[in-house]
Each structure stands twice: as C-alpha cells, then as structure tokens.
A = this chain, B = another copy of it.
C-alpha cells in the first residue's frame, strides 16, 4: 500500500498542476473579457493562451460571416490569411462542427477523415490530431475554435471540456463587441432586470 503511494503521488501532483493551469487559463480569459481591448486583440490573446496550455501546434478561431466561416485569429496561419481564408459551412471538418454544433476530436490521421478539406495556404492541414468546438452565442453557432497537433495526440475529456467552455466565452465576447456606445450608456434599470431583463441567449 505504502510503496504504491509514491507513483500515485506523482500522478496526483501532475494532475493537480494541470488543473491549476486550466483554472489559471479561465481566470486569464475572464480578465480579458472585462479589460479594454479590441476584439481582435482578445481573440489573438485567447489563441496564445490555448497554444500555451494545450501545447498545440496550431490554434485557429473562425467566425461566421453570413453563410461562411472566416479565419479571424491564429498562431499558425500567415498574417495574410486573417480575414481572407474563408470556407463554406458545407466544407471540411470545421464546417461539420459549425453545422452540427458538436465537438470533434481526432487523435491521428485527421487529414484522412472523409469530412476533411485541405487549404493549400494552411500548413496545419498536414497535422495529425484535430480538436474542434463550436463558438456559441445566443444559443447558436457563431464560429469554430480549432486546435491541432502535428503529431498524434489523444485529447482528454478535460481538454474537450476546456475547448467547449472557451468556445462559449468567445461567443460572449462576440456579443459584447456588438454593444455600441448607445447600448452601453443605456442603463438597464433594476426594475427591468428584476422583471425579467432577458439575456442575449433568449432572443
């Protein structure tokens, strides 16, 4: 019993340090949400945080623009791809995630998945492992958050849950970016709130 406790101790310490890092990630995203920044800066910061935490080779945030998904932030794509790489909701694994509002996790050979579509300008299209979650706002899909590893990588349940939550937080950020000055100055009275001021999701 006691002799076995030592390796278990190491496992626990590792898991503990991983959870602390994950909590720290959420705290940093939360802090980004109340600070003064442009949406573009915040999206780029979120990509950097995810790359650091997940140790992935590529992280891309796509946002919907009408019927298309547009690359809006990435650590891996060239700057010229931002705002220019567009895909239809019908295309690729990313389109599948947006259409189905479901997470996809592939540990290897993601480029052999029948849903896969290559983009010649994205080197990430040769990466083995692929994790993708929808960006949700107002209870609908407004983007897709992709993470890729060059080498095979089995995504854990924690990593999937993490990307789902970050997808929700990015959705909130998108809505906040739509608030214009008028809306910000318009005070929502306490009476309105208590009478059932309706959250964005329910419209």
Point out residues on A near B: beta carbons under 8 Å.
2-3, 5-6, 8-9, 12-13, 15-16, 19-20, 22-23, 26-27, 30-31, 33-40, 42, 63, 65-66, 70, 72, 82-83, 136-139, 161, 164-165, 168-169, 171-181, 183-184, 186-191, 193-194, 196-203
Contacts and interface: CB of A to CB of B under 8 A. Distances in A.
A200 B184 contact: yes
A33 B173 contact: no
A22 B196 CA distance: 28
Contacts of A197: 38-40, 177
A contact face: mostly helix, strand, loop, or mixed: helix
A177 B203 contact: no
A166 B137 CA distance: 19
A83 B27 contact: no
A184 B177 CA distance: 11
A179 B175 contact: yes
A36 B199 contact: yes
Contacts of A13: 12
